[in-house]
Amino acid sequence: MTKKFLTAGALSTALLTLGSGIYFYNSLPVLRSYDQVKAQYQSSDLYILSHEGKLLHQWRKNKDNRSFQWTALADVSPVLTSEILKSEDRFFHEHSGVSFSSLMASVYQRLFKGSSRGGSTITMQLLKLITPERVKYSGMTGKLRQIIAAYQLERFWSKKEILEAYLNLIPLRGEYRGVAASSWSLFDKSPTGLTLKEAVALAVLVRAPNASVKDWKNRACWQEPSLCSEFPGFIAELSKKTLEPSQQNLALHLAQRLSPRFTSGEVKSTVHLDVQTYTQEMVKSQILNLQEQNVNDAAVLVIENATGNVWAYVGGSGISDKRYVDGVRAYRQAGSTLKPFLYATAFENNILTPHSWIEDSAVDIVFERGIYKPQNHDKQFYGWVQVKTALASSLNVPAVKVFKLLNDESFWTRLQSLGFKNLKEPEHYGPALALGVADVTLEDLTQAYRTLANNGIYTDLRFTSNDPEPEARQVFKTKTAQEVSFILAQNENRALGFGLDSALSTQGASVKTGTSKDMRDNWCIGFNSRFTVGVWVGNFSGEPMWNVMGVTGAAPIWKKVIAFLETNYPSPKISEGSALASTTVIAPEKYPQARIVYPQDGMIMALDPAIPIAHQKMPLLAEGPHPERLQWRINGKKVAGSKSVLWTPEAGRHTFELYQNQKLAQKVQVLVK
């Protein structure tokens, strides 16, 4: 009986031991490979790179912890690696995952000195970082489980892989994970270039990430006694840091835009670093100059015409308190910037040509909601003008008349084809659509002008190097796009509205400004043969600016950016035989008689005492068929020149007469004070 009892007991013990062993074995973690761990690692930040591969902007995505890009072991300062091994695992390169001498020392410290020092190797610590939370390594069985798993890990991972993963995954001060994030937060530099003092200060945090300043200093002194005298002040200063790393902040709104598309990691954009930087500087400078006129915000978009690549994306001034509002995508009233597409529609429908004549005179437009009485911004009427002058000088009354001439929804339909979003139905706007009462974005507006630059062909934008090649659609005929482009490129066409020496005076570029009701929005959009640049200036709050028009608000930014592009990225010159150049030889349509464009009758001018008289000039501009037959007389005396003359003003009242074929066509009087 006794023998049978002992046999049964032994069997029970054996079964219990076997069951415990099976349970223990099954409770071991399923180890992932190095490649799996690295592939599943995610930075807390999105890194927007420039076209050249340089960091433009760092955008935080994960709010739970702060970790940067996975850092290769070769990119960690050898002195930092050495100090971490000295602090955490002196025999890392000798053991196979477990250091029994360290374990025994730990037991001794706990039993006889009351220390809580552990004996875990870096391999054992890494296990806690890469295995699920449900796997426990505490207690006797947990420690045994950790030891066995450490041996397994060392069988399948190299020492380099273990150390590299450890340096990327260890939690350090505050919310930071990995030596890269901590190095940037504490020292404003990558872990590649840490000094010995910096490396020691960082290494001793591994064991106690949130140690007090006193303990932090003591640990550093114990590890590197030769620097002990330097640590108190050094660590005291480090402890005051906000632990917010210095970030590249050159493309906030682009990063904000791309953030929903990319979880983390690096995204190579189409933005050029030098163009982005210069554009931001010009925006900030101009807004600072205009702040006394209640101007706080601005946005700029630079697009390469042929590819649709965005070369600069500046969504705000960097000064405003509305930092995260993206001015590139914000809806604002278009003002006169829609007029080129109105006239292009009329050209397409064979209603007008650039040389047609249209009368700028008072008119009442009757429509469903009442009578509309359009006026020019200066409250004057200029009589008969050519279409090219009406468009480039941004006259309102002719634009409304063109809208009525169309007598359909074709203008509204063209705006839709150009990609303008969220347009209300045509009847919502009525004839006022010709004057830009619709809300548009800078992006859509710049894209529409780029369509003119591309001979009437529309394609989508590209923001990253991985964006697909855009599909093209023809919105305007090539001839129409070139005619409108040529009108907007000729300085004399806009002299009536802006004079000969405005911020729009530039060689080889077509440009148009716009100002919305109550001066709430300034626009300047234009292009050369290679780039289209769009600028908006105003206030995100919707407050009106004080006496700021498109030519004084947005245009100076546009002119500087387009000049920078022309200098650094020259555009191809238009050959004389091109279709665009050929638009200059279209014969003028019949006009009743020659007329004075500038100055206007009754105009009062004031001399500037700060400028020498010889340097003050007033243009005399005329238009009409056969300009070679025109002749100016000032106060009865003939002057050289026909179509245009520069006159040095003198105080007093002056009479300007324009003769056509020896006959008086028109005369005006001007008072100079």
What are the tens digits of pLDDT across the range 439-449?
Answer: 999 999 999 99
Do strands 603-605 and 663-672 pair parallel, antiparallel, or not at all (unpaired)?
Answer: parallel
Q: Looking up tokens 């994306």, which residue turns up?
A: 313
Average pLDDT, the chain: 85
Q: Looking up tokens 């050209």, which residue turns up?
A: 347
Q: Read off the DSSP letter of residue 309.
A: B
Single-letter amino acid code for the residue at 668: V
Share above pLDDT 90 across residues of the chain, in percent, rounded to a whole number: 53
> What would the mean pLDDT of 254-281 be, rounded to a whole number?
92
583 pLDDT above the threshold of 50: no
pLDDT value at residue 437: 94
State the Rg of the chain over Cα.
37
595-672 and 281-585 share a CATH fold:
no
Domain ranges of the chain: 1-30, 33-48+63-239, 281-585, 595-672
- The tokens describing 181, both together, are 């994030």
In degrees rounded to 5, what are phi and psi of residue 138?
-95, 160
- Structural domain 595-672, CATH architecture: Sandwich (2.60)
> What would the mean pLDDT of 542-553 be, rounded to a whole number?
90
Mean pLDDT lowest among 138-147, 583-592, 629-638:
583-592
Helix/strand/coil for 425? coil
pLDDT value at residue 112: 55
Quick one: 33-48+63-239 is in which CATH superfamily?
Answer: Biosynthetic peptidoglycan transglycosylase-like (1.10.3810.10)
DSSP string, 468-495: PPPP-EE-S-HHHHHHHHHHHH-GGGGH
pTM confidence score? 0.71
In SS3 terms, 319-384 reads as CCCCCCCCCCCCCEECHHHHHHHHHHHHHHCCCCCCCCEEEECCCCEEECCEEECCCCCCCCCCEE
Residues 309-366 pLDDT 10s: 999 999 999 888 898 999 999 999 999 999 999 999 999 999 999 999 888 888 776 6
190 pLDDT above the threshold of 70: yes
276 pLDDT above the threshold of 90: yes
- Structural domain 281-585, CATH architecture: 3-Layer(aba) Sandwich (3.40)
Q: 585-591: list long-range contacts, CB under 8 Å, 24+ apart.
A: 586/353, 586/354, 586/355, 587/355, 588/355, 588/386, 588/625, 589/353, 589/355, 589/356, 589/357, 590/357, 590/625, 591/357, 591/384, 591/386, 591/623, 591/624, 591/625
Residues 64-96 pLDDT 10s: 777 888 999 999 999 999 999 999 999 999 999
